[in-house]
Amino acid sequence: MVTVLGAGSWGTALAIVLADNGHHVRLWGQRQEQIDEINEKHTNEKYLPNIHLPNAIVGYVDLARALEGVETVVLAVPTKAIRDVLQRVRTCVKQPITIVSVSKGIEPDTNKRISQIIEEEMPAHLLRDVVVLSGPSHAEEVSLRHPTTVTVSSKNMEAAERIQDLFMNHQYFRVYTNPDLIGVEIGGALKNIIALAAGITDGLGYGDNAKAALMTRGLAEMARLGSRLGANPLTFAGLTGIGDLIVTCTSVHSRNWRAGHLLGKGQALDDVLANMGMVVEGVRTTKAAYQLAKKMNVDMPITNALYDVLFNGKDVKRAVDSLMARGKTSELEDLANISL
């Protein structure tokens, strides 16, 4: 028995993987009509249109009932809701649980990764382990059983291997392990910033050259900040770095790319967020990464430019022009600044 907290597209897609692997899955959401649809029609049309859910997935609105007796909890709620949900979880569970974090972001102001928030909010006697699952994985494609690869990481690699076994599906969902928890989380969070910027360049009509430059230099920014925080730079060459960056910057499935695309077309940020219908994690993460880069004295020009667009009202075309007008540098010297 596994409980998935969050009945959005990603939580539902992972519930499908777990059900396909033979597990009974409790899928918790806060809207009664959505849970009724899951239980009665075996669909979740708002988030995964035209997908039939396995019978092994049962929806719950009662959090205490959803958590009763389970040992593994998949946390699939937006990052801004994580503290609130965990505060409710700790009043419901009576047994130690392993929490699998599958959301991607950094909390503004505290600048904490999600695993750190979980450790902070959950009492030690109720938290067995924290495992992070991340990688290039659109929920829409996972729900169609298209081949997908992800990574799991934890301070306790035995726990990571247990979660690897839980999710591994030899037909379509392959799971790797990586002991670099910081790198896995930072890569998954920061790629959303670059995806927003990639959407903007596409919205401006700048084409493949600009996107290739943005992704390459964006990856360098991710590795620079991550390594300063203690991550292994090699992690950013893997699934949770360049892998996630590719899938998020190049696909219309990516809500961060779609939001950026609308910004590039001239829409205001408030209008974009109001019309998206789903959380755009990159906006919140841009603020956190901007704060963290200043705090750690790490050069992140793309992040800085996007921050000016999102929070200071800078025109997107002027932001791109300012990036192109920066002083000349050596690429190899710049990459050498990534801590090994």
Is 328 a catalytic site residue?
no
Query: How many Cβ atoms are within 10 Å of 193's Cβ, its own excluded?
Result: 31
Type of residue found at 151? T
Helices (H), 170-206: 181-203
* Dihedral pair phi/psi, residue 39, rounded to 5°: -80, -35
E runs forming strands in the chain: 2-5, 25-28, 57-60, 72-75, 97-101, 127-134, 148-154, 173-177
Contacts of 247-252 with CB under 8 Å at 24 or more apart are: 247/136, 247/137, 247/138, 248/136, 248/191, 248/192, 248/194, 248/195, 249/191, 249/194, 249/195, 249/198, 249/211, 249/214, 249/215, 249/218, 250/198, 250/211, 251/138
- Could you tell me the two tokens for 203? 């919205």
* Dihedral pair phi/psi, residue 107, rounded to 5°: -80, 125
CA distance 152 to 132: 5
Nearest to 285 by CA among 217, 211, 221, 233: 221
Residue of 94, 112, 191, 211 marked catalytic: 191
The per-residue DSSP string of 8-50 comes to SHHHHHHHHHHHHTT--EEEE-S-HHHHHHHHHHS-BTTTBTT
Residue positions annotated with a catalytic role: 191
